[in-house]
Each structure stands twice: as structure tokens, then as C-alpha cells.
């Protein structure tokens, strides 16, 4: 049937550029990369790169370096957990609804492109800037529709509501962003924030337990536990979109808010998600509420900053700021409109992003760093100080073990990460100071979690 050959199949495989044969393990890929991914994960293959672990993977050379090919599979977002541990054939898995949404979006976009007079050409790797349309952003800035490797154009009407992602936009972003989860689903992770979406609990879910690490380095158990506590980016975007939409009612009465106010609202919503993450995370949920409060009050700005920075490192593009909603802003535009203090903060943030980018810090390491930040034994008056200290030690141990497995530079990588962490902490202090000033001058919204945290920290100091 004709509709079987939907827009998606005209695309090229994000791993090697070959012809796409359908959705495989989370996204549209070719038949060979599907098979390669399956063989690698099912047989627990270990590969070694003979070069510098940055081999080019294309249709011709894809067989030359399986290590880099598998890395690329993970990087573009192929899902380990879609490979079934029990090898059961047929049926559907939890990704079904995601595939459906993505397909609908592509169809919709194709129609838009045709209606807009654009050539509906497939452009999976090189996206011409003429295909971009800027959306007006209150306060004079502009949002650029997200354009990722697997994606051509995302349209939204240029209104305030356009600030928020539509479901389809979210779905696009989801497909473009690699959120490959490592496997292992232990009992306790049921209590952690689900990373398995609304379809969790399908009959295939039981298959996701697989006691092995599927490539190169051995994954320390604790690192896997941390990964399982990570919120699902798709759900996060949806949640924040809904909350911002609710805020919109108030905006209409008061006129358009400033860019700074919008960013604060977004930060506020992100903060909610960070608290939710902590509340449901391994170790943290065992703490007394009073200690939980103390820890969060002490490190909220570090976590908020790390959230933004990790987003840039993992999924951002040069010269752009990727927002939690999945949209992007031009950094040059920000620099143009921001005052000197904000501009220097953004600059320092970018430098940190650059450092982490060069280090190729991955999701696993970011997940560990979050716990390192959260479990800070230096926080005063903790009732369970020893527990916090022991968790800190365990996290350090797990991160060290992981970096030793993934890097040949022995302790170098680990100490680099710790250096970045200290830079992050000093930067977040400056961000707090900046927010405090803006709060005092009445330029940012009051009565929200962000301000509550700010005040709590001021009273701690």
C-alpha cells in the first residue's frame, strides 16, 4: 500500500546514510544497521577501534570499524532496550506510539513543505539555512526551529504559544536526540522516575532485563542505577510544555513577559523536574525529608546549570542554546540583547560546555555528576551525614571506575571531570547572585520555586 511508503522511508539512515527500511530499535534506520545493532547487543559483542574512536561511518566504510559504528548507533539514539533479552519474535513494544507520532509528524511536515512551496527533498545530513524560519521571541530574541540531523523543518505559528513545543515537535526532537538507556531493570528502579513512557508495563517490558553491558567498557552497576533514575526527555518536555501553557493565561493579562522572565519560568519548571528526579532517585529517597531539603537547597543551582550544560554538550549545536523545550536560540542574539553580566555568564557557560564537549562527557558521566552534586557531605547540619558521605564515596568510585574503563588516560579524565564540576559550582554561584539582583530589581517573576530556593539558600548562608 502507498501509505506504507510514508515520508520516513525517503530518509537516509542516520548511522550510515543508506536507505531506511523502517523503524528499528527506536528510530528509522537501514536494514544493515538494524542487523548490526541486533547482533552486537544480542551477542554482547566487544569491539576495539584501531584508530582514534572517531571513524567516519558511511555506507561504504560502515564495515571497517564496528566499534565506531556501534558508538554511532547509540549516539543517534538506537535503543538497547528494544533488543529483546528473550528473543521473542513478532508483536509490538513500547516504542509503537512513538513511531506513530513520529510518522504523523513527518507526514504533516511534508504537507507543510509542499504547501509552503519548498522542495520536499530529503536532507538528512545537510540542512540548508534557507529552510529555517525564525520565530519571534518576546523581548526581541528569536527562536530557531530545531533542525537536527534526521530532521528538516519544524513549523510553529509565531505566537506566544509557539514558545511551547507541540507534541509533534516533541516527537521530532525525541527521535533526533539519543537517549539510549542501558539495560538492566532491577526491582528498585520501579520506584524511580519511569523512563519508559506511557506504554510501560506492556508485555514486552519484562524482556528488558539483560545482565550484560553491550559494548566496550563494562558499566559499573551503580552507573546503570543512576541512568535508570534519569527522567525521560520526551516526558520532561511534555510536562514543561503543559506547565508553561498554564502560565500563559497570566501572561495574556499582563502583556508579553520579558525574555528573562520566560527563561526564569522555564528554569523554574526545570527545577520542579530536578526536585522530582531527586525525590524518586536511588539513595536520596531513603533520606529524611529534612536532609533532602537541605541537600536540595544547597545544590539546586548547580543541578539547574548542569541540566542546561549537559543538554548543550549531548545534543546542542555550535552557536545555539538548546532549551529544555527542545527549541534553540542563537547565542549571538543572546549576546546582543543581554546585559554585560548575563553575557559574561553565558560566555563562561559556553566555555564549560566546550570543555565538556572536548572531553566527550556522556550521559553516564553526567548522571554520576548529578549525584556527586546532590550528595554533598559538606552541607551543614545533616542528620544523616554519614550516609550522605558514603553515597558520595560510592558515586565517586563508580564514576572513577567508569572513566577508567572508557578512557585510556587513567586518572586524567576523572580529575578533569572534577575540575569541571568545581567550575560549574563557581559559575552557579554567580548565576544565583545574578538572579538575586534581578529579583531585587523586580525583573523576574516572584512566588515560584526558583525564588523559594534562592531565598532558602540566602538564609542558609
Q: Which residues bind DNA (CB under 7 A)?
A: 1, 3-4, 18, 22-26, 30-33, 35-36, 38-39, 42-43, 62-63, 66, 82-84, 87-93, 95-97, 99, 202-203
Tell me how far, at minimum, the Cβ of 70 lies from DNA, in Å: 9
Exposure b/e, 434-459, CB count within 10 A at least 16 = b:
bbbebbeeeebbeebbbbebbebbee
Closer Cβ to DNA, 3 or 289, answer by number: 3
Q: CA of 17: how far to CAs of 31, 61, 113, 148, 177, in Å?
A: 11, 11, 22, 15, 17
What's the CA gap between 182 and 349, in Å, rounded?
A: 29
Closer Cβ to DNA, 35 or 397, answer by number: 35
Would you call 88 helix, strand, or coil by DSSP? coil
Q: Which three cell numbers stand for residue 365?
A: 558521566
**How many Å separate Cα 212 from the centre of its chain?**
24
Tell me how far, at minimum, the Cβ of 236 lies from DNA, in Å: 22
Closer Cβ to DNA, 80 or 334, answer by number: 80
Closer Cβ to DNA, 104 or 421, answer by number: 104
Which residues contact residue 359 at a Cβ distance below 8 angstroms, ignoring those fewer than 6 apart?
Answer: 413, 416, 417, 420
Tell me how far, at minimum, the Cβ of 92 lies from DNA, in Å: 4
Q: Residue 130 has what DSSP assignment? A: G
Name all contacts of 64-72 with Cβ < 8 Å and 24+ positions apart: 66/36, 66/40, 67/215, 67/216, 69/15, 69/16, 69/33, 69/36, 70/36, 70/37, 70/40, 70/45, 70/215, 71/215, 72/15
Closer Cβ to DNA, 23 or 375, answer by number: 23
Tell me how far, at minimum, the Cβ of 323 lies from DNA, in Å: 28
What's the CA gap between 428 and 224, in Å, rounded?
A: 27
Closer Cβ to DNA, 56 or 92, answer by number: 92
Closer Cβ to DNA, 69 or 294, answer by number: 69
What's the CA gap between 258 and 340, in Å, rounded?
A: 17
Tell me how far, at minimum, the Cβ of 247 lies from DNA, in Å: 32
Closer Cβ to DNA, 42 or 194, answer by number: 42
Closer Cβ to DNA, 28 or 444, answer by number: 28
Identify the H or E element spanning 250: helix 233-254
Tell me how far, at minimum, the Cβ of 98 lies from DNA, in Å: 9
Tell me how far, at minimum, the Cβ of 89 lies from DNA, in Å: 4
Burial of 112 (0-12, 13-18, 19+ CB in 10 A): middle
The length of the chain is 461
Tell me how far, at minimum, the Cβ of 42 lies from DNA, in Å: 6
What's the CA gap between 247 and 243, in Å, rounded?
A: 6
| C-alpha torsion 65→67→71→76, nearest 10 | 40
Tell me how far, at minimum, the Cβ of 43 lies from DNA, in Å: 7
Closer Cβ to DNA, 60 or 460, answer by number: 60
Name all contacts of 288-292 with Cβ < 8 Å and 24+ positions apart: 288/383, 288/384, 290/383, 291/382, 291/383, 291/384, 291/388
Tell me how far, at minimum, the Cβ of 181 lies from DNA, in Å: 13
Q: Residue 230 has what DSSP assignment? A: S
Amino acid at each position: 500500500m502507498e501509505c506504507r511508503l510514508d515520508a520516513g522511508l525517503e530518509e537516509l539512515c542516520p548511522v550510515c546514510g543508506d536507505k531506511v527500511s523502517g523503524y528499528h530499535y527506536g528510530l528509522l534506520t537501514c536494514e544493515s544497521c538494524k542487523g548490526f545493532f541486533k547482533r552486537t547487543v544480542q551477542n554482547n559483542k566487544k569491539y576495539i577501534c584501531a584508530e582514534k574512536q572517531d571513524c567516519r561511518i558511511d555506507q561504504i566504510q560502515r564495515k571497517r570499524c564496528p566499534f565506531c559504528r556501534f558508538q554511532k548507533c547509540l549516539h543517534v539514539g538506537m535503543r538497547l532496550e528494544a533488543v529483546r533479552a528473550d528473543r521473542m519474535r513478532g508483536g509490538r513494544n513500547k516504542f509503537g506510539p512513538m513511531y506513530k507520532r513520529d510518522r504523523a509528524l513527518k507526514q504533516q511536515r511534508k504537507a507543510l513543505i509542499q504547501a509552503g512551496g519548498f522542495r520536499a527533498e530529503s536532507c538528512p545530513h545537510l540542512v540548508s539555512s534557507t529552510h529555517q524560519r525564525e520565530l519571534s521571541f518576546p523581548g526581541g530574541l528569536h527562536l530557531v526551529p530545531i533542525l537536527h540531523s534526521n530532521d528538516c523543518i519544524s513549523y510553529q505559528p509565531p505566537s506566544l504559544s509557539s514558545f511551547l513545543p507541540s507534541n509533534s515537535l516533541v516527537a521530532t526532537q525525541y527521535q533526533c536526540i539519543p537517549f539510549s538507556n542501558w539495560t538492566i531493570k532491577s526491582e528498585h528502579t520501579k520506584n524511580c522516575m519511569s523512563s519508559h513512557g506511557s506504554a510501560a508495563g506492556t508485555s514486552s517490558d519484562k524482556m528488558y532485563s539483560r545482565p550484560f553491558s553491550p559494548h566496550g567498557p563494562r558499566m559499573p552497576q551503580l552507573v546503570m542505577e543512576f541512568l535508570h533514575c534519569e527522567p525521560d526527555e520526551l516526558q520532561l518536555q511534555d510536562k514543561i510544555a503543559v506547565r508553561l501553557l498554564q502560565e500563559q493565561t497570566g501572561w495574556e493579562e499582563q502583556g508579553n513577559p520579558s525574555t528573562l522572565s520566560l527563561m526564569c519560568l522555564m528554569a523554574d519548571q526545570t527545577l520542579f523536574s530536578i526536585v522530582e528526579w531527586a525525590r524518586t532517585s536511588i539513595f536520596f529517597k531513603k533520606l529524611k525529608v529534612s536532609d533532602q531539603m537541605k541537600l536540595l537547597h544547597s545544590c539546586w543551582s548547580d543541578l539547574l546549570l548542569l541540566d542546561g550544560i549537559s543538554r548543550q554538550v549531548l545534543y546542542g549545536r555550535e552557536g545555539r542554546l538548546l532549551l529544555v523545550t527542545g527549541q534553540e536560540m542563537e547565542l549571538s542574539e543572546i549576546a546582543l540583547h543581554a546585559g554585560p553580566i548575563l553575557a559574561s555568564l553565558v560566555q563562561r557557560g559556553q566555555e564549560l560546555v566546550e570543555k565538556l564537549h572536548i572531553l566527550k562527557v556522556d550521559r553516564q558521566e553526567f548522571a554520576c555528576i548529578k549525584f556527586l552534586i546532590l550528595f554533598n557531605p559538606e552541607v551543614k547540619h545533616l542528620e544523616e551525614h554519614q550516609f550522605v558521605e558514603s553515597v558520595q564515596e560510592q558515586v565517586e568510585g563508580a564514576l572513577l571506575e567508569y572513566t577508567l574503563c572508557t578512557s585510556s588516560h587513567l586518572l586524567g579524565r576523572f580529575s578533569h571531570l572534577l575540575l569541571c564540576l568545581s567550575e560549574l559550582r563557581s559559575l552557579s554561584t554567580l548565576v544565583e547572585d545574578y538572579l538575586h539582583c534581578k529579583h531585587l530589581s523586580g525583573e523576574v517573576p516572584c512566588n515560584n520555586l526558583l525564588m523559594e530556593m534562592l531565598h532558602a539558600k540566602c538564609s542558609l548562608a
